[in-house]
Amino acid sequence: NAGVTQTPKFRVLKTGQSMTLLCAQDMNHEYMYWYRQDPGMGLRLIHYSVGEGTTAKGEVPDGYNVSRLKKQNFLLGLESAAPSQTSVYFCASRPYGREYKDTQYFGPGTRLTVL
Amino acid sequence: AQRVTQPEKLLSVFKGAPVELKCNYSYSGSPELFWYVQYSRQRLQLLLRHISRESIKGFTADLNKGETSFHLKKPFAQEEDSAMYYCALPYPDSGGGADGLTFGKGTHLIIQP
């Protein structure tokens, strides 16, 4: 049981390049989230998904797209990377139900640098 | 809008001393608050939630609605408590029940031997 995994762990992009971050979970969780954490800041929600085939915007969605084609995977895409997107990206998942609202399982993070 | 404030970036105390990590919040309605912890080279994980009123690893936190605070306390710090601590609050329910969390900026707790 690997929990939540993220690929890649590190990446350096040039401005304007595109990339996709992959999040996978093997806990059969319904809900999945993408957060970003900038230096000295708390985590901020980018997008989330309540189930396969559904996605919704979080607090800071601009410049990102997401897809949830399979229940276990949640992809975060950057179509045209900008230096302001330099950050550490965390994926999280949790089971269905309001009682699990606080119990998010986090991945190890992806450190992205945009030059 | 909801907001979580952790005023201390860094808190250093000696082993055996009491610890208090501050968290203040703004939220319309009845808040649910949590503390998450990230030990070195480990993932962010839930430490405790206010509704359970339980003690985890000797830590407790009481929700004070009058002061809009949810400070994390431990009477006697241990070296293994050194970590980043984040106070968190759910985003307002979008109706789908899939609340993400708003996190404070975190406090780096260092326990000196």
- In B16-66, the DSSP E strands lie at 19-21, 24-26, 34-38, 45-49, 60-61
pLDDT of residue A41: 86
pLDDT band at A21 (very low <50, low <70, confident <90, very high): very high
Min Cα–Cα distance to chain A from B41, Å: 9
pLDDT of residue B45: 92
Mean pLDDT of A56-61: 90
Mean pLDDT of A44-53: 92
Other CB atoms within a 10 A radius of the CB of residue A111 amount to: 15
**Is B105–A41 a contact, with Cβ atoms under 8 angstroms apart?**
yes
pLDDT of residue B32: 83
pLDDT of residue B85: 97
**Is A90–B94 a contact, with Cβ atoms under 8 angstroms apart?**
no
| Structural contact between residues A111 and A10, judged by C-beta atoms closer than 8 angstroms | yes
pLDDT of residue A99: 77
pLDDT of residue A91: 97
Choose among B43, B100, B106: nearest Cβ to A106.
B43
| Structural contact between residues A12 and A78, judged by C-beta atoms closer than 8 angstroms | no
Q: To which residue do tokens 């002061």 refer?
A: B67
Torsion sign, CA atoms B91, B93, B96, B97: positive
The SS3 call for residue B98 is coil
| A35 contacts in chain B (CB < 8 Å) | 100, 103
Does pLDDT of A60 surpass 60?
Answer: yes
pLDDT band at A39 (very low <50, low <70, confident <90, very high): confident
| Structural contact between residues B91 and A45, judged by C-beta atoms closer than 8 angstroms | yes
**Is B34–A102 a contact, with Cβ atoms under 8 angstroms apart?**
yes
| Structural contact between residues A22 and A91, judged by C-beta atoms closer than 8 angstroms | no
Could you say which residues of chain B have pLDDT below 70? 52, 92-99
